[in-house]
Amino acid sequence: MTIHSTHDAEQWNAFRLGDKSAYAQIYERYFDALYAYGKRFVLDHTQVEDAIQDLFINLWRTREKLSAVDNIKFYLFRSLRRDIRRLSEKEKFSETIDLENLLLINEYPAEEQASPESQEELTQRLIAILKSLPKRQLEAIMLRYYENFGIDEIASIMNVSEKTVRNTLHNSITLLRKNSNLFYPLLKLAAIYFWW
């Protein structure tokens, strides 16, 4: 973490001083992740593309006024989310992001399912559950376990309390765990050295 921070801070400072290659590297490094993240909020890919384009143009234009940043990815994710939110409110095609849904404990049918027979089957099962989750809940999981943001960062990105983030994650993982039904067949499989 600390290694990234130093690197991030240096890269960010170079960019603020007008170093275009630092700016291009930032774009290169985070475009895909930002796209995937933005696409969660709007249906039309052109809207995400425009929002990211807008974000980067604004960054360059206001670079001299920007403050120091030690986690560029966090800064970009938070900015993109705010921009999309603001634009969709203004344009009234909001994919209304439901705040209440966040803590809703999703009652995915937790019937006695057989243990998954393979890693792939388990993954498929989890995909189905994740897709059924309220959007905000999935967003929190993704930010934590895919993008590896800290709880405090997620709280700031999603504009909720840290406690809410913690509870949401806890509920989600419990749900995934309950439905994965991991027992012995998998252990046998795990004895095989590679799972890929």
Binding site for other proteins (CB under 8 A): 1, 24, 27-28, 31-32, 35-36, 39-40, 43-47, 49-54, 56-58, 60-62, 87, 91-96, 109, 119, 122-124, 126-127, 130-132, 138, 141-142, 144-146, 148, 150-151, 166, 169-170, 173, 176-177, 180, 182-183, 186-187, 190, 193-196
> DSSP letter string over 143-183?
IIIIS---HHHHHHHHTS-HHHHHHHHHHHHHHHHHHH---
152, two tokens: 């405090």
- Closer CB to other proteins, 59 or 69, in the complex: 59
CA distance 100 to 134: 10
- Closer CB to other proteins, 87 or 103, in the complex: 87
List phi, psi (to 5°) of 148: 55, 45
In whole angstroms, how close is the CB of 193 to other proteins at the nearest point? 8
Nearest CA-CA partner of 137 in 168, 97, 108: 168
- Closer CB to other proteins, 10 or 187, in the complex: 187
- Closer CB to other proteins, 22 or 151, in the complex: 151
- Closer CB to other proteins, 156 or 180, in the complex: 180
In whole angstroms, how close is the CB of 34 to other proteins at the nearest point? 9
In whole angstroms, how close is the CB of 173 to other proteins at the nearest point? 6
Q: How many CB atoms lie within 10 A of CB 19?
A: 14
- Closer CB to other proteins, 9 or 167, in the complex: 167
In whole angstroms, how close is the CB of 61 to other proteins at the nearest point? 5
Tokens 């006024």 correspond to what residue? 65
Q: For 185, which DSSP code?
A: H
In whole angstroms, how close is the CB of 73 to other proteins at the nearest point? 14
End-to-end CA distance of the chain: 28
Q: For the CA atoms of the chain, what is the radius of gyration?
A: 20
In one-letter notation, the amino acid at residue 36 is A
In whole angstroms, how close is the CB of 170 to other proteins at the nearest point? 6
